[in-house]
């Protein structure tokens, strides 16, 4: 039995909660993605992110991850900020980490949505995912027609660019899927040309071991690899280069989520203040931010590497 009558309700409720796009896809085995993921892992493009090679089967089949799942509902939540860091010489932080940690903000919204769905429908099974389980977020969002996968491996929406978070609800309702849209990257190679570490040497494939986001966040080594001396372009947490240069991001709209507003003290931090940042100040500024993922020691490592090798 199809439950398409609930589609409009889900979309309306999602928009009330701040999501700006919602799409639906059928919970099936990702046949096309399986050989791509296998090849990517065999090339060791995931580096020291061991979790990427775990749960291979569950990553490709949502019904193994959450039995009974029939539909994946994908959501996009904008994070494009109105203001950016004031000091152009300060270590750079990726825009997605300006405000409160998105994992918690979005999880709360999806719990509210699931509660509203159960009130409307009855006892349905559902589980929310926010970048925290073996779920191929971008693939499901692409299947649901929420954008195409760009050459920089980010999902790109034709009216909103790519500065957004992706999340999912796995539900045991059968809802008609939305079809994918076409790829509009065309002959453009701006993201590939702009990447200072050649992480995008192969279009549509990212070598995470060369990606500044991986190096500054995921890599836990005592120091960053010497081959990246002079190539980090002052990024201390994450990197927005391949998004900043993407022509589709001229359509990015300012985000409306209060929780994603940057701490004003953070935006005003100068280069010297970053270097002198104490553990207590770090905790005060970033205790609720995704930046805490690197811990104080990780940010210090990155800043010292930039200071020595920029």
For residues 77 and 255, give the distance between their C-alpha atoms in angstroms, rounded to a whole number.
8
Coil, strand or helix at 257: coil
DSSP 252: -
Coil, strand or helix at 168: strand
Q: Which of 152, 119, 113, 146 is nearest to 11 (CA)?
A: 113
Coil, strand or helix at 296: helix
Q: Give the active site residue among 61, 87, 131, 178.
A: 131
Measure CA 182 to chain center.
21
For residues 180 and 174, give the distance between their C-alpha atoms in angstroms, rounded to a whole number.
18
Q: Active-site residue 131, yes or no? A: yes
For residues 16 and 116, give the distance between their C-alpha atoms in angstroms, rounded to a whole number.
12
User: Beta-carbon neighbour count of residue 102 at 10 Å?
Assistant: 21
**Six-digit token string for 36:** 């791509």
For residues 175 and 169, give the distance between their C-alpha atoms in angstroms, rounded to a whole number.
13
Helix (H) or strand (E) segment spanning residue 39: helix 33-42
For residues 280 and 257, give the distance between their C-alpha atoms in angstroms, rounded to a whole number.
27
Per the DSSP assignment, residues forming a β-bridge with 71 are 26, 171
CB 247 within 8 A of CB 161: no
For residues 232 and 213, give the distance between their C-alpha atoms in angstroms, rounded to a whole number.
10
Sign of CA dihedral 29, 33, 35, 40: negative
Give the residue numbers marked as catalytic: 131
């Amino acid at each position: 039995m199809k439950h398409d009558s609930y589609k409009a309700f889900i979309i309306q409720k999602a928009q009330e909660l701040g999501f700006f796009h919602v799409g639906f896809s059928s919970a099936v085995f990702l046949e096309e993605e399986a050989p791509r993921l296998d090849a990517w892992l065999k090339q060791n493009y995931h580096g020291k992110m061991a979790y990427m090679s775990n749960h291979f089967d569950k990553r490709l089949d949502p019904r193994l991850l959450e039995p009974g799942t029939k539909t994946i509902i994908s959501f996009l939540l904008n994070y494009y900020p109105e203001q950016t860091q004031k000091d152009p010489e300060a270590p750079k932080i990726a825009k997605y980490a300006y405000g409160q940690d998105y994992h918690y903000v979005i999880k709360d919204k999806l719990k509210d949505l699931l509660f509203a769905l159960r009130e409307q429908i009855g006892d349905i099974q559902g589980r929310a995912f926010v970048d925290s389980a073996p779920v191929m977020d971008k693939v499901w969002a692409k299947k649901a027609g929420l954008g195409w996968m760009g050459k920089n491996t980010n999902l790109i929406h034709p009216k909103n660019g790519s500065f957004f978070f992706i999340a999912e609800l796995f539900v045991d309702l059968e809802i008609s899927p939305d079809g994918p849209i076409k790829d509009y990257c065309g002959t453009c190679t701006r993201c590939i040309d702009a990447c200072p570490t050649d992480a995008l040497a192969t279009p549509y494939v990212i070598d995470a071991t060369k990606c500044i986001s991986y190096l500054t966040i995921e890599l836990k080594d005592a120091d960053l690899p010497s081959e990246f001396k002079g190539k980090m372009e002052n990024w201390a947490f994450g990197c927005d280069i391949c998004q900043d240069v993407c022509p589709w991001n001229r359509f990015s709209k300012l985000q409306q989520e209060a929780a994603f507003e940057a701490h004003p003290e953070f935006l005003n931090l100068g280069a010297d203040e970053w270097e002198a940042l104490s553990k207590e100040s770090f905790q005060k500024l970033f205790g609720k931010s995704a930046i805490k993922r690197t811990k104080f020691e990780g940010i210090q490592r990155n800043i010292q590497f930039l200071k020595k090798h920029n």
